[in-house]
């Protein structure tokens, strides 16, 4: 019951249904290929409808196949059979590149596109996607170049990404006379014993030396591929592409970053106060960044975590409670860390099943309970967007954190409300500030790191020493005197999978966007109560078919203004003040 059940996908690679779906996918891809040769021969309305329907069929089949294989690899990264199956499937999917490029170009060059869209209800449903396709025409390569780019990615960036996953998930850390996985030693950063936290920190840093050179090659290869493709696609920079893919504008990103930087002194005040409590005169050493405070040292069972989440989700809405209960009852969650399993946590959506699967590395802390609640929030987002047709379900990263952080907040606020002692309240508020510091301050350090890496790797190869220095400088700039400069962690670029993607550069600021946007959402929930639930569901359903300025506008928020982000950061400032008051 502590591992997820994937039987609704397939019973194994030898499952006849797995083979049958592979054949169906190939048939549909061939149909798409043939259809792309006839574009313009039929009336535009029917051509667009056929392209939408056929594309949706392919997506659903592929999502089931990819979902199954990737989930298996998430808990067993060295499984050769599933690794090979992933390579084969990705190779097959290259067959869609050319016909999809032809269709996108057809849509973009259709002179009366809006008129055609208005002529049919199905096309009206996907209006935003079609108009976005037209707007993105500038960034299309030639048909031959699109195919070549996709093929080269399979032997370049995607393999570097896979290598980083395998390196970190199989890294053996020498700790106290034995070897343990990286995910386990990183969990020790939250241990109540300061000696364990410190020894784990040094063990983790030493272990990175085993893979830092290989990781440096992987990172350089990925970033240079991203730069090349951004330039080829006529983006001003990799960041410009991310802003476009995120469906925001520069004004929104600038407003967010401006507010984050303005409030850094608030976070440093918290870090220095925590450092003083732990006896550190020069700021907080990295190994005590996650040190528990107060009395939040209770170790919870998985069953206790489930019960707590269900009780508090029920107070928000019946459908949120029921979704979580279903996730628990039907074994959607893989809970415990083990060798070969990915670190951290994620929620994987699968439209084919209209279900999600969640991976965590549960260690029994209150923070682990909030992590499960966070990932269930993603599942709740998926639950609502599954009501849309599949074309409208691809929402951008910044808005992806809205429901997750909202659900996390529900659980954290409930725990604080139930706390009876000062020590317990201190522990809970400290946990909240730990998380907020990661999402604002550490995320800013990652943004600074990635900005510098993109800037320099155009002109030089950044070896492990250079990357370590860039990471240290980014941490110093973001954390300032909140951290002890003699005890930082230059290896953070090695274990963060977010850096190792050719399709998601700057996979960092969306987390800050999500936290602060969710704070604003939660404030509205507090004001409106249960009446706000329908507004939230409407917002979530629209995340795949609007830009984020319009999505936020549905509930009266202007994300292009610094004042909105400041108002959310003020909520965190109140938590810092409460922390300092509780520690007097």
Torsion angle (degrees, nearest 10) of CA 104, 107, 111, 113: -150
CA 570 to centroid of chain Cα atoms: 25
- Looking at residue 115, which CATH number applies to its domain? 1.20.140.70
Identify the pLDDT of residue 260: 97
- Whether 504 maps to a domain, the answer reads no
Structural domain count of the chain: 3
Same domain, 463 and 410: no
Same domain, 527 and 560: yes
Q: Is 84 left (phi over 0), alpha (psi -120 to 50) or beta?
A: alpha
pTM for this one? 0.82
Q: What share of the chain is helix, strand, coil (3-state, %, to 5)?
A: 70, 5, 25
Mark out the alpha helices in 76-193 (DSSP H runs): 80-93, 97-109, 113-118, 121-125, 127-135, 143-155, 157-170, 182-187
Residues 6+ apart with CB under 8 A from 362: 302, 305, 335, 336, 337, 368, 371, 372
Same domain, 410 and 329: yes
Contacts 24+ apart (CB under 8 A), 463-467: 463/213, 463/216, 464/212, 464/213, 464/215, 464/216, 467/212, 467/216, 467/219, 467/493
Check if the beta carbon of residue 548 is closer than 8 Å to that of residue 398.
yes
Mark out the alpha helices in 11-96 (DSSP H runs): 16-36, 44-75, 80-93
The token duo for 90 is 């990705």
Alpha carbon distance 305, 370 (integer Å)? 9
- Whether 9 maps to a domain, the answer reads no
Same domain, 341 and 409: yes
- Whether 33 maps to a domain, the answer reads yes
The token duo for 108 is 């973009």
Alpha carbon distance 549, 557 (integer Å)? 8
Same domain, 254 and 318: no
Identify the pLDDT of residue 297: 67
Same domain, 535 and 395: yes
Q: Is 272 helix (H, G, I), strand (E, B) or coil?
A: helix
Alpha carbon distance 93, 28 (integer Å)? 11
Which of these three, 91, 121, 146, is where a domain ends?
146
Identify the pLDDT of residue 367: 83
Residue 203: domain span:
161-295+437-499
- Whether 509 maps to a domain, the answer reads no
Check if the beta carbon of residue 317 is closer than 8 Å to that of residue 374.
no
- Whether 506 maps to a domain, the answer reads no
- Whether 217 maps to a domain, the answer reads yes
Check if the beta carbon of residue 275 is closer than 8 Å to that of residue 283.
yes
The token duo for 532 is 């706000």
Check if the beta carbon of residue 431 is closer than 8 Å to that of residue 296.
yes
Same domain, 92 and 201: no
Alpha carbon distance 581, 457 (integer Å)? 46
Q: If we measure between CA atoms, which residue out of 287, 258, 74 comes closest to residue 185? A: 287
- Whether 2 maps to a domain, the answer reads no
Alpha carbon distance 95, 30 (integer Å)? 8
Which of these three, 146, 176, 204, is where a domain ends?
146
Check if the beta carbon of residue 202 is closer than 8 Å to that of residue 209.
no
Same domain, 118 and 171: no
CA angle at 287 for the pair 283 and 290, rounded to the nearest 5°: 90
Same domain, 398 and 521: yes
Same domain, 407 and 323: yes
Instruction: Give the Å distances, CA to CA, from 364 to 53, 299, 307, 435, 436.
Output: 45, 5, 14, 17, 20
Angle, helices 509-528 vs 402-418, to 10°: value is 60
Angle, helices 44-75 vs 16-36, to 10°: value is 150
| Residue with the two structure tokens 């390196």 | 167
Q: If we measure between CA atoms, which residue out of 101, 77, 264 comes closest to residue 166? A: 77
| Residue with the two structure tokens 């199905």 | 122
Same domain, 405 and 538: yes
Identify the pLDDT of residue 397: 86
- Whether 175 maps to a domain, the answer reads yes
The token duo for 311 is 């009780």
Alpha carbon distance 559, 379 (integer Å)? 24
Same domain, 84 and 21: yes
Tens-digit pLDDT string for the chain (584 aa): 799 999 999 999 999 999 999 999 999 999 999 999 999 767 999 999 999 999 999 999 999 999 999 999 999 988 999 999 999 999 999 899 999 999 999 999 998 999 999 999 999 999 999 999 999 888 888 888 888 988 888 888 999 998 998 999 899 999 999 999 998 899 899 898 999 999 999 999 999 999 999 999 999 999 999 999 999 999 999 999 999 999 999 999 999 999 999 999 999 999 999 999 999 999 999 999 999 888 766 789 999 999 999 999 999 999 999 999 999 999 999 999 988 998 889 999 999 999 999 999 999 988 899 999 999 999 999 999 999 999 999 999 889 888 998 999 999 989 888 888 888 889 889 988 998 999 999 999 999 999 999 999 989 999 999 999 999 999 999 999 999 999 999 999 999 988 999 988 998 898 899 899 998 888 888 888 888 899 999 999 999 999 999 999 998 899 999 999 999 999 899 999 999 999 98
């Amino acid at each position: 019951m502590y591992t997820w059940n994937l039987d609704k996908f397939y019973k194994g690679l030898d499952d006849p249904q797995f083979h049958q779906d592979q054949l169906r996918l190939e048939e549909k891809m061939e149909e798409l290929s043939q259809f792309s040769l006839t574009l313009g021969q039929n009336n535009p309305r029917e051509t667009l409808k056929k392209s939408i329907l056929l594309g949706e069929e392919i997506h659903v089949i592929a999502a089931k196949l990819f979902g199954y294989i990737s989930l298996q690899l998430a808990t067993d990264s060295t499984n050769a059979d599933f690794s090979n199956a992933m390579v084969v499937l990705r190779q097959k999917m290259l067959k869609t590149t050319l016909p999809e490029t032809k269709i996108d170009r057809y849509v973009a060059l259709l002179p009366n596109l809006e008129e055609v869209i208005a002529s049919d209800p199905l096309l009206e449903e996907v209006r935003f996607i079609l108009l976005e396709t037209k707007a993105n025409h500038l960034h299309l390569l030639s048909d031959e170049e699109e195919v070549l780019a996709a093929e080269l990615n399979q032997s370049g960036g995607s393999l570097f990404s896979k290598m980083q996953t395998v390196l970190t998930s199989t890294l053996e850390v020498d700790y106290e006379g034995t070897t343990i996985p990286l995910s386990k030693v990183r969990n020790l950063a939250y241990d109540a014993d300061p000696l364990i936290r410190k020894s784990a920190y040094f063990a983790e840093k030493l272990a990175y030396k085993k893979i830092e050179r290989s990781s440096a090659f992987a990172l350089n290869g990925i970033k240079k591929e991203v730069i090349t493709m951004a330039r080829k696609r006529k983006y001003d920079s990799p960041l410009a592409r991310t802003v476009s893919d995120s469906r925001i504008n520069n004004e929104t990103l600038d407003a967010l970053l401006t507010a984050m930087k303005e409030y850094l002194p608030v976070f440093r005040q918290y870090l220095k106060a925590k450092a003083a409590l732990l006896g550190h005169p020069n700021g907080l050493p990295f190994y005590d960044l996650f040190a528990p405070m107060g009395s939040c040292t209770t170790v919870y069972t998985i069953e206790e975590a489930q019960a707590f989440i269900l009780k508090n989700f029920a107070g928000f809405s019946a459908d949120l409670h029921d979704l979580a209960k279903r996730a628990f009852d039907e074994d959607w969650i893989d809970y415990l860390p083990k060798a070969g399993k990915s670190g951290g946590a994620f929620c994987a959506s699968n439209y084919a099943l209209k279900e999600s699967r969640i991976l965590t590395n549960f260690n029994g802390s209150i923070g682990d309970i909030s992590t499960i609640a966070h990932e269930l929030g993603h599942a709740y987002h998926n639950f609502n967007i599954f009501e849309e047709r599949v074309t409208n379900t691809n929402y951008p990263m910044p808005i992806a954190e809205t429901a997750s952080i909202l659900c996390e907040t529900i659980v954290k606020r409930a725990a604080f409300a139930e706390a009876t002692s000062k020590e317990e309240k201190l522990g809970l508020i400290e946990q909240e500030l730990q998380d907020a510091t990661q999402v604002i301050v550490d995320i800013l350090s990652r943004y600074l790191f990635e900005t510098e890496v993109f800037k320099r790797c155009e002109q030089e190869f950044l070896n492990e020493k250079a990357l370590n220095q860039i990471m240290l400088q980014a941490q110093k700039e973001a954390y300032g005197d909140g951290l002890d400069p003699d005890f930082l962690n230059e290896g953070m670029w090695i274990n963060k999978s977010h850096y190792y993607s050719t399709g998601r550069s700057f996979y960092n600021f969306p987390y800050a966007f999500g936290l602060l946007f969710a704070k604003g959402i939660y404030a509205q929930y507090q004001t409106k109560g249960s009446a706000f639930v329908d507004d939230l569901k409407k917002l979530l359903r629209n995340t795949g078919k609007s830009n984020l300025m319009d999505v936020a506008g549905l509930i009266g928020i202007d994300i292009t203004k610094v004042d909105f982000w400041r108002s959310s950061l003020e909520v965190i400032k109140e938590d810092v003040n409460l922390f300092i008051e509780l520690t007097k």
